[in-house]
Amino acid sequence: MTTLTDPPGSTFRLSMLLNDTRYRSTTLQVIAFILLMSAIFYLYSNLATNLREAGLNISFAFLGTPAGYDINQTLIEYTSQSSNLRAAFVGILNTLLVAFLACIMATIFGVIAGVLRLSKNWLVRKLMAVYVEIFRNIPVLIWILIIYALMTIASPSPRAFRGDDATASMILDGAAITNRGVYVPGPFFTRGIGGEDGSVINWLLVIAVLIGSFVVTRMVTARANATQEATGVRPNTLWTNLAIWFVPIIVLLFILGLAWDIPELKGFNFSGGLKVGAPLIALWFALSIYTGAFIAENVRAGIQAVSKGQTEAAAALGLRPGRVMSLVVLPQALRVIVPPLISQYLNITKNSSLAILVGYADITATLGGITLNQTGRAIECVLLLMAFYLAASLIISAVMNVYNNSMKLKER
Amino acid sequence: MKKSVFIGALTAAGLMAGAAAAGTLDDVKERGKLNCGVTTGLVGFAAPDANGEWKGFDVAVCRAVAAAVLGDASAVEFVPTTGKTRFTALASGEIDMLSRVTTWTFSRDVDLKFDFAGVAYYDGQGFMVPKDLGVSSAKELDGATVCVQTGTTTELNLADFFRANNISYEPVPVETNAEGQQQYVAGACDVYTTDASGLAATRAAFENPGDHVILPEIISKEPLGPLVRHGDNDWGDVVRWTLNALITAEELGVTSANVGEMASGTQNPEVARLLGTEGELGAMLGLDADWAKRAIETQGNYSEIFATNIGEETPIGLARGLNAQWTDGGLLYSPPFR
């Protein structure tokens, strides 16, 4: 006689939460979540209790009160009577400006150095290796200080331009390099829309025209590609594209009456024209050349990741070395280069917070420095600072990820 | 990611506030050492000498408190702070007192929750320019580039002064006095502004002090003094009355040289109370009877501290001016020891 017993029913026992693989991971996650939440709650209540005991509170009202201090580089209108919030925005714009400039410059440095590191010329190859190793292995803080110190010591002060026995003179009578910054002629519009104050609209107009030209040239190129596919003959687009780029903008600038404001020595400093401050230049250059060394290594790694057969095949088709690099190797290498490049861009943005070292008024210097000190609202200011850097980094990541997705191998 | 950042900030803030509990006097006694916040280096006020020993006017105040509380003027841990870090350091309990050319203002006293223990030095903000600029008044500084220490009252006064006079300037923010000095010498700014005493101290450190002039305008009131956390009144009293003891000692003619002799045989009842031979003033503070005697013995009275660190005999060469005793036409006026 055979006895057939049913498999045990699916009765749930508490021990199964740990022993049964079906439940174990969920259990552990729930425990971890509870621990995390209680830790957060403990820290928060500790903070709240201690603040209350010290008679302090968390309040963001200080953002609306007048800042009371002046800032040396303001991209938007700002006086010492503007609010702390506006001072923070001035800082944010300054941070974004230097980060943007440094990202572009670092990419240029990095790509050039990375490609040249693989040069067949021994001297060039070794020179680039020296550049990478020196700049990569010394902290960026020290580079910022060195470059700023060299700038302030090596270049003449505005005083040296004065008098008959001036020891320094302006370049082409239009630009001056001083230890406080570089002064160049600044463009302005004599017949601009909205008179003196309407200059923003004029510049937006200029940018709109440039974007329009860009879109149209893309369309012309696309049509040329289509023609080439259909007939095998590529129409010459060079002159058309040049005309599309230059004619509208020249006409617009002529209508608006573009003129140049030449800087001249007045009192203590040069006035008029466009001033690029020494702190901005030092920070920009230091961040670019430092991060450029890292990017160079990324670029080298990316290029070496492209199989040698690709280069040889391209050479066999009769492409010159320069075209092999730009048409065959680099487009494939970009797939390897872009992901680490994102983190280099993030590093630049975060490293720009060292700006206060050279007196550059970035967000850390305005909101996290002077405002924090003058109002004593340390926790609030630091929270806002963290929120800003987090948001900025996430936005940069998002944009670069979109680019990365468009570059990566399309699997079909 | 957002969460983890948040936790970090809260931890930092929680720890910071956690340390700031009451009972500093007991903490200091138990530790056997006074943590005193000073500048990162301002000759005459607080700077390490060639042997690495801290010297200066602010340093002497710290040492006097240490001598009064711990009986040892060398039992001080000097914590260098910048204009930016000083208040956080004090609020977080990293230092017990701040003696760092800090201006007593309403918002610092009330909003930042500190208590100023009195005024150790009456100062005002001035401007220093190279002599060859030919400037004789601060009102001629239109368009100048000005180096200013960030996070100070100086920065705000500067903005106010130029706005009130309707002239423009460009600020170059610097973190420390040394950095400001370096920028000024390199010519990155035309003008250096800070408290007049600080300007004198900075100028004294130059190779050719005569090439620089301090402009006559004093654009602000800067009463400088030691400060402690608000709410710890016992500790605040110790610092306040140690400072007052130094001032009173000068008024009563007690010096580091004669303090022993005065303590044993004085006819003046206030001197006796000050030096602990009469009354219970020390016990009221939670200290022993000789507290003020030790402070004066080791550091000297106010005039001795002034003369050795910043007085006219020193390279800094500051006159007593407002900082003379009230009996000599100055502002120093200690409440009575009674």
- Crossing angle between the packed helical segments A84-116 and A278-305, to the nearest 10 degrees: 40
Q: Best residue in B3, B87, B153, B155 to probe A by mutation, most A CBs within 10 Å?
A: B155
What pLDDT shows up at residue B302? 95
Alpha-carbon Rg for chain A in angstroms? 29
Beta carbons within 8 Å of A101's beta carbon, 6+ residues apart: A284, A288
- Band the pLDDT of B317: cuts 50, 70, 90: confident
The torsion angle over the Cα atoms of residues B275, B280, B282 and B288, rounded to 10 degrees, is 90
Question: What is the token pair recorded at B2?
Answer: 């957002």
Q: Best residue in A35, A37, A47 to probe B by mutation, most B CBs within 10 Å?
A: A47
Question: What is the token pair recorded at B299?
Answer: 């550091």
Q: Specify whether the CB–CB gap between A228 and A234 falls below 8 A.
A: yes
- Secondary structure class of A221 (helix, strand, coil): helix
* Other beta carbons within 10 Å of B83: 27
Our measurement of the distance from residue B15's CA atom to the centroid of its chain's CA atoms, rounded to an integer in Å, reads 27
Rounded CA-CA distance B72/B331 in Å is: 30
The torsion angle over the Cα atoms of residues A372, A376, A380 and A383, rounded to 10 degrees, is 50
- What is the pairing mode between strands A258-261 and A186-189? antiparallel
Residue A217: what residue type? Answer: T
Rounded CA-CA distance B74/B192 in Å is: 34
The alpha helices in chain B, defined as continuous H runs, are 2-19, 24-31, 57-70, 86-91, 106-110, 153-164, 177-186, 196-204, 233-252, 259-264, 269-275, 281-285, 291-299, 302-309
What pLDDT shows up at residue A163? 66
Question: What is the token pair recorded at A141?
Answer: 């803080």
What pLDDT shows up at residue A348? 94
- Secondary structure class of B121 (helix, strand, coil): strand
**Which of A271-280, B75-84, B226-235 shows the lowest mean pLDDT across its residues?**
A271-280
Rounded CA-CA distance B192/A322 in Å is: 55
Question: Residue A327 carries which DSSP code?
Answer: I
**Would you say the pTM of this structure is higher than 0.80?**
no
The alpha helices in A257-377, defined as continuous H runs, are 278-305, 308-316, 321-323, 330-351, 363-365, 372-375
User: Number of C-alpha atoms within 13 angstroms, CB side, residue B66?
Assistant: 24
The alpha helices in A199-307, defined as continuous H runs, are 199-231, 238-256, 278-305
Query: How many residues are recorded in chain B?
Result: 338
pLDDT digits (tens, 9 = 90+) for A103-118: 999 999 999 999 999 8
Rounded CA-CA distance B315/B35 in Å is: 29
Phi, psi of B126 (to 5 degrees): -130, 180
The residues that bridge with A183 in the sheet, in sequence order, are A176, A275
What pLDDT shows up at residue A190? 76
- Secondary structure class of A79 (helix, strand, coil): coil
Q: Specify whether the CB–CB gap between B273 and B225 falls below 8 A.
A: no
* Other beta carbons within 10 Å of B198: 29
pLDDT of B11 higher than 80: no
Rounded CA-CA distance A394/A386 in Å is: 12
Alpha-carbon Rg for chain B in angstroms? 21
Rounded CA-CA distance A62/A85 in Å is: 8
Nearest CA to A155 out of A127, A125, A179 is that of A179
B20 in reach of chain A (CB within 8 A): yes
pLDDT of A280 higher than 80: yes
The per-residue pLDDT of chain A, averaged, comes to 86
Question: What is the token pair recorded at A69?
Answer: 């201090």
| Chain B partners within 8 Å of A56 (Cβ) | 17, 113
pLDDT digits (tens, 9 = 90+) for A209-239: 999 999 999 999 899 889 888 888 888 888 8
For CA atoms A103, A106, A108, A111, give the dihedral sign: negative
What pLDDT shows up at residue B20? 45
Q: Best residue in A268, A377, A397 to probe B by mutation, most B CBs within 10 Å?
A: A268
Question: Residue B267 carries which DSSP code?
Answer: -
By C-alpha distance, the chain B residue nearest A373 is: B151
The residues that bridge with B191 in the sheet, in sequence order, are B146
pLDDT of B6 higher than 60: no
pLDDT of A10 higher than 80: no
Q: Specify whether the CB–CB gap between A389 and A364 falls below 8 A.
A: no
ipTM greater than 0.90, yes or no? no
Closest CA–CA distance from residue B190 to any residue of chain A (Å)? 7
The alpha helices in A54-119, defined as continuous H runs, are 84-116
**Which of A304-308, A407-411, B249-253, B324-328 shows the lowest mean pLDDT across its residues?**
A407-411
The torsion angle over the Cα atoms of residues B218, B222, B223 and B224, rounded to 10 degrees, is -120
* Other beta carbons within 10 Å of A299: 28
Closest CA–CA distance from residue B128 to any residue of chain A (Å)? 15
pLDDT of A55 higher than 80: no
B7 in reach of chain A (CB within 8 A): yes
Beta carbons within 8 Å of B190's beta carbon, 6+ residues apart: A268, A269, B129, B130, B133, B141, B144, B145, B146
Closest CA–CA distance from residue A264 to any residue of chain B (Å)? 13
Rounded CA-CA distance A351/A393 in Å is: 12
Beta carbons within 8 Å of B149's beta carbon, 6+ residues apart: B83, B155, B173, B174, B175, B176, B177, B180, B194
| Chain B partners within 8 Å of A44 (Cβ) | 10
pLDDT digits (tens, 9 = 90+) for B153-212: 888 999 999 999 999 898 988 888 888 888 898 888 899 999 998 898 888 888 888 899
* Other beta carbons within 10 Å of B102: 27
Identify the residue whose tokens are 């007991």.
B26
C-alpha pair distances (Å), B189 with each of A283, A310, B133, B221, B229: 18, 57, 12, 24, 36
| Cβ-defined contact of A43 to B5 (cutoff 8 Å) | no
Question: Residue B265 carries which DSSP code?
Answer: S
Rounded CA-CA distance A63/A74 in Å is: 18
Rounded CA-CA distance A24/A4 in Å is: 31
The torsion angle over the Cα atoms of residues A150, A152, A153 and A155, rounded to 10 degrees, is 100
Q: Best residue in A70, A79, A81, A183 to probe B by mutation, most B CBs within 10 Å?
A: A70
Question: What is the token pair recorded at A260?
Answer: 């140049």
The per-residue pLDDT of chain B, averaged, comes to 88
Closest CA–CA distance from residue A373 to any residue of chain B (Å)? 5
What pLDDT shows up at residue A188? 77
What pLDDT shows up at residue B5? 47
The residues that bridge with A189 in the sheet, in sequence order, are A258
pLDDT digits (tens, 9 = 90+) for A352-377: 999 988 889 999 989 988 888 888 78
| Cβ-defined contact of B17 to A359 (cutoff 8 Å) | no
By C-alpha distance, the chain A residue nearest B132 is: A159
| Cβ-defined contact of A267 to B112 (cutoff 8 Å) | no
- Secondary structure class of A216 (helix, strand, coil): helix
Closest CA–CA distance from residue A44 to any residue of chain B (Å)? 6
pLDDT digits (tens, 9 = 90+) for A157-203: 787 777 666 666 777 777 888 888 888 888 777 777 766 555 677 88
What pLDDT shows up at residue A73? 86
B313 in reach of chain A (CB within 8 A): no
| Chain A partners within 8 Å of B14 (Cβ) | 43, 46-47, 50
B175 in reach of chain A (CB within 8 A): yes
Identify the residue whose tokens are 């049964």.
A20
Question: What is the token pair recorded at A88?
Answer: 């923070």
| Cβ-defined contact of A267 to B142 (cutoff 8 Å) | yes
- Band the pLDDT of B127: cuts 50, 70, 90: very high
Residue B107: what residue type? Answer: S
Identify the residue whose tokens are 């000095």.
B181
